[in-house]
């Protein structure tokens, strides 16, 4: 059965400078639990370029503690990338209030991202890698992904339509390419500038993607993300 990852306060933070009222976040978490959402990516954990950005941009363990205690059945996570990653910001999972970490991976930084994943695995976090701008990943990138000997440490490998450039037939193309190089659990992250987030995500679900991303009311960078409500209404029972 398809799983849902909601990233309302992480991707939606682009619209609010990563400031959200605690009551909103806890109410959202209650709704996510009632909707059987599996994963909640609450924000970034970055300590680079933080000026003018709220606490959901840095997501320190101390800040996350009350949300972790209220998470119910949700898996709680944060996003980072190789450029902003500092190993010291991530204690061992047993000393943190995070279940998973998603690493944003730009097409020219695949090798660096894989090293971050290996470091986080040693600290016992569940790990997702998200291939940004999937249409810009070249042959060299696919070779690095294919040759990586630690594919099994991933919870899933995401491919992202970062700039709403894809159509449903493209979803199938990239899904099959990543399957061919040995990635069995694939997931998809959509944006909605062209109004195709739902159609692309449903195609990903039909193909067998492990996880699909949403945000509440589609809040997110640019044209926004797939609306959680739309996915819940359209996924097969």
Distance CA 77, CA 174 (A): 25
- Summarised one tens digit per residue, pLDDT across range 134-164 is 999 999 999 999 999 999 999 999 999 988 9
- Whole-number pLDDT of residue 1: 84
Lowest-confidence region among 57-66, 119-128, 201-210, 217-226: 217-226
Distance CA 184, CA 179 (A): 6
Structural domains of the chain in order of their starting residue, each with its CATH number: 3-234 (3.20.20.70)
- Summarised one tens digit per residue, pLDDT across range 130-139 is 999 999 999 9
What pTM was estimated for this model as a whole? 0.96
Are 127 and 120 in contact by the 8 Å Cβ rule? The answer is: yes
DSSP sequence for the chain: --EEEE-HHHHTHHHHTT---HHHHHHHHHHHHHTT--EEEEEE---SS-TT--TTTT--HHHHHHHHHT-TTPEEEEEEETTT--GGG---GGGSS-SEEEEEE-TT-HHHHHHHHHHHHHTT-EEEEEESSGGG--HHHHHHHHH-TTGGGEEEEEEE-TTS---HHHHHHHHHHHHHTT--SEEEE-B-TTS-HHHHHHHHHHHT-SEEEEBGGG--STT-B-BHHHHHHHS--
Confidence of residue 120 (pLDDT cuts 50, 70, 90): very high
Is 135 or 48 the better-scoring residue by pLDDT? 135
């Amino acid at each position: 059965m398809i799983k849902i990852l909601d990233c309302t306060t992480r991707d939606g933070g682009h619209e609010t400078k990563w400031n959200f009222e605690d009551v909103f976040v806890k109410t959202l978490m209650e709704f996510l639990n009632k909707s059987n959402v599996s994963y909640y990516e609450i924000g970034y954990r970055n300590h680079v370029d933080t000026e003018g950005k709220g606490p959901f941009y840095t997501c320190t363990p101390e800040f996350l503690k009350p949300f972790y205690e209220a998470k119910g059945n949700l898996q709680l996570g944060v996003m980072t990338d190789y450029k902003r990653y500092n190993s010291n910001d991530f204690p061992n999972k047993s000393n943190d209030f995070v279940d998973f970490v998603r690493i944003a991976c730009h097409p020219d930084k695949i090798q660096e991202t894989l090293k971050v994943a290996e470091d986080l695995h040693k600290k016992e976090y569940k790990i997702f890698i998200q291939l940004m701008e999937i249409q810009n990943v070249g042959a060299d990138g696919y070779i690095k992904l294919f040759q990586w000997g630690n594919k099994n440490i991933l919870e899933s490998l995401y491919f992202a339509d970062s700039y709403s450039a894809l159509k449903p037939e493209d979803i199938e193309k990239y899904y099959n390419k990543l399957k061919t190089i040995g990635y069995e659990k694939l997931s998809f992250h959509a944006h909605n500038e062209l109004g195709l987030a739902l159609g692309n995500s449903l195609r990903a679900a039909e193909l067998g993607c492990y996880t699909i991303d949403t945000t509440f009311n589609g809040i997110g960078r640019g044209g926004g993300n797939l609306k959680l409500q739309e996915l819940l209404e359209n996924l097969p029972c």
